[in-house]
Chain A
Amino acid sequence: MSIVTRRAVVHLRALLLVFCVAFGHAASGQSLFVIPTDSPTGPGVADEQPLLVSLHLREPAALAKVLDVPAPVAGADVLRYVMQDYPAISPGTKRAWSEPSFVVDYLDPSVTALGREFATARAESGAVGPPTPGDLVRFVHGVIRGSRDRGLDVASEIAAIRLGDCKNYAVLTVALARAAGVPARVVFGIVLLRFDTRYGAYGHAWAEVLVDGRWVAADAALTAEHARVRYLPFGVLENEGMGYALDAARLTPVWVQRVEVLGAASTGSPLPQSPRTGVPRFVLR
């Protein structure tokens, strides 16, 4: 491999840096990977309101496909999108998302031991049935100590060291969910956080847990840090083997490079419907 090529391949692992907010310190981060964000002037948009954004990226049509929304016109480098409900995204492969893997090695003794702690904690709180996303988030948030010293670790190592950033929160959440029989997966995307009237977008990773046939976000890294976190997932960690770092490069075309927050979106009629989720789409006021 030529030296300049190897430089980049070696640093594919560094790409995984892109995927994390500095848990609770997003406002003070000087990261190279903060996503430039333009905020509208004037009064802010209530967190409950749908928010219209322009997403600048290399292949907007590819992201539109992932998010199951109409593609922009050919040649556009922007995708207009309304952030409101958590979107359902399609992975490229069909799988059960319940199997152990190199990254999600939930059969390892360190993970099973933590799983027993989790089960005990739930039993003591009177919980019954399979764990909910809330159960998982609370437990993992209490177990892991935030640290930017880690890359993406495998679940058994996370269970042992109990350290990490958003990626490790996500991997451990997925491992504990699968260990309890609940399908789960690691997703990558961005989060949009509001600071008064201004917004900041950051790369992030979190878990999705399958509940009643719907993928639900389970983010143990950003729990009560902000009144409202708007999520935009754009990819699933498909390759949970040793090639996970190379797999992350698959997301490059849909990586959002700049976010323009345009303002509140209204529910004018008629509402375009998503064929997959049935979630109403909103049009600009």
Chain B
Amino acid sequence: MCRTTVALRVFWKLPCQSGLDRAEARPRGERLLAVVPLGLALVAGAAHAAAPEPQWLVDARAKEGVLVAPHLVTSADKSISFSVPAPMTGALAEDKDAYTAVLTLAPGITGECVILKTDVDPAAFLRATARITFTDTIEKVHGKIEMRAVEHVDAGMAGPTPYLSASWIYRANDGTGARIGGLRQYVGRHAGHSTYCALNDIGYAETFAKVALAVIGSLKASDDPPAPYFEEISVVSIGDARVGFGSIEMHRDADGDTKSVENEAMIVPGGAGEPQTFDSVTTAWVTPAGALINLKKVSVNNGEVEINLDLQHAQDTGWVLSGKFKSKDVQAALPAAAPSTWVTQTNLRRELLARESPIGAEAVRTDWLSANPGEFTTTTVKVLAAIDANSYLVRETFGPASMDLAVDRKSGQSFRGTMEMGPVKVTATRVFVRGSP
């Protein structure tokens, strides 16, 4: 059995810094707008009411381009292809790290999509590329960035691919006056490929969104790995804002064991400056009966590895936890137990919901949580109410936290979960499922 280690790529070390450097060699000054004393009103917090935007800014934001019929773009080496509803400016460029497409949104207005040959942490990648774009390109062309803020983040699905996006507004000053600009970013990740699209313009938002999501959603690569036998993707929201996505893929090896790989990415605007980002990968091996064999968890916070832990079964002593947690070396023995897996949890809920009167039915299980990695956590699963004929509301309580799940009675799978965390409500909603676990 293969027990591979999943290590997240930290973008700082990625040699390819996307195509933006090259793109910014072209003059873009004309796309920045007139000098305005806009100040911080655009990013004012709750303590101050935001000033209405001046008409010139409203007009600039409203600009859109014209899309064309989608056309197929294939790399010269036939390795990748995608479909896009915008004319290409020049050919698809290739270097050792990426393919780069410059796409025309309107006369004189181009966006760029970069198909990376390596995997990236989507949220950290957005943050890192924004930083590089501001400091290495925009500042050099338009002067000092006096203010920048994330106006909007989003997450969702483009075809079979989850994506994250961030829209920035910034004010640059080259000494002759302040100018307002916008930076739009999209990143999608699927089957080992990552696509990054960016536009440095305050307008053309919808046009660019359609172009970027078309590229992300239609990307095909000749080296795509075998399709998983089960795949599920969910979108994470904080309040009404979609801020992240999660996915799980399951593959079976020759022994019948399942390797599940869960990816998560989240980007949260955190005030003036940069957003907070979270990326993680959890790889677990599970027996055909659903028992955990081992597990590896890597979490990256703002591009820096925060958790890198292995949970290994020890024949005599239960479990051994080892690795790094918050910069510290960790080596801990956990008691003999059967920590739950995706399979056993689904089975447990299905059993509860199969009862004649499931409401009020309750069971407990043992979980290993990365939020409390030094010990196992007992989780209580309780059926609260029927949602409709086919689904129930189930509350899972783990330590001091709880989450309410909408669960399909027949499969035991949850398709929506809501959790109150402090002043905010976090919701994870399944948006894509293929196969059966």
Contact = CB atoms under 8 A, between A and B. Distances in A.
Given A242-B374, A249-B399, A154 B327 contact: yes
Contacts of B333: none
A153 B301 CA distance: 11
A243 B301 CA distance: 17
A199 B45 CA distance: 11
Contacts, number: 235
A26 B45 contact: yes
B302 A3 contact: no
Given A28-B43, A150-B302, A246 B400 contact: yes
B326 A154 contact: yes
A250 interface: yes
Most buried by B among A5, A148, A251, A257: A5
Contacts of A11: 236, 244, 264, 266, 278, 421, 426
A255 B133 CA distance: 37
Interface in B386-437: 396, 398-401, 403, 405, 413-417, 419-424, 426, 428-430
B234 interface: yes
Given A1-B345, A27-B48, A33-B422, 13 more contacts: A4-B415, A7-B428, A11-B236, A18-B421, A28-B271, A31-B271, A35-B46, A150-B302, A195-B47, A198-B47, A246-B372, A248-B422, A252-B400
Interface in A1-40: 1-15, 17-19, 22, 25-37
B408 to A, nearest CB: 11
Query: Nearest 5 A-B pairs (CB), nearest first?
Result: A200-B47, A29-B271, A243-B372, A4-B417, A249-B401
Interface of A: 1-15, 17-19, 22, 25-37, 58, 102, 148-151, 153-154, 156-157, 193, 195, 198-200, 203, 241-243, 245-252, 255-257
Nearest to A160: B327
B45 A34 contact: yes
A249 B402 CA distance: 9
Contacts of B269: 30-32
B367 A15 contact: no
Interface in B239-288: 239, 241, 244, 246-248, 262, 264, 266, 268-274, 276, 278, 280, 282
A18 B414 CA distance: 27
A26 B47 contact: yes
A21 B406 CA distance: 34
How large, as a class, is the contact surface on chain B? 35 or more
A256 B273 contact: no
A10 B279 CA distance: 9
A1 B340 contact: yes
B369 interface: yes
Nearest to A8: B419
A26 B369 CA distance: 33
Nearest to A21: B271
A13 B271 contact: no
Nearest to B417: A4
Given A9-B371, A25-B272, A28-B271, A15 B421 contact: yes
Contacts of B246: 3-4, 6-7, 10
A249 B272 contact: no
A101 B236 CA distance: 33
Contacts of B262: 3, 6
A37 B47 contact: yes
Contacts of B282: 6
Nearest to A16: B422
B342 interface: yes
B48 A249 contact: no
A36 B423 CA distance: 10
Nearest to B330: A242
Contact of A5 (B45, B341, B414): B414
A13 B46 contact: no
A141 to B, nearest CB: 20
Nearest to B276: A17
B346 A2 contact: yes
A37 to B, nearest CB: 6
Most buried by A among B40, B150, B349: B40
Given A1-B340, A246-B372, A29 B45 contact: yes
A65 to B, nearest CB: 16
Given A4-B415, A31-B271, A154-B328, A242 B405 contact: no
B44 interface: yes
24 contacts: A1-B345, A3-B247, A4-B234, A4-B416, A4-B417, A7-B236, A7-B246, A7-B426, A8-B236, A10-B280, A12-B421, A13-B278, A30-B271, A32-B268, A148-B271, A148-B273, A154-B327, A195-B48, A200-B45, A203-B423, A242-B330, A242-B372, A243-B375, A257-B423
Contacts of A36: 46
Nearest to A32: B238
Interface string B293-320: 0000001011010100000000000000
Most buried by B among A11, A37, A251, A257: A11
A32 B424 contact: yes
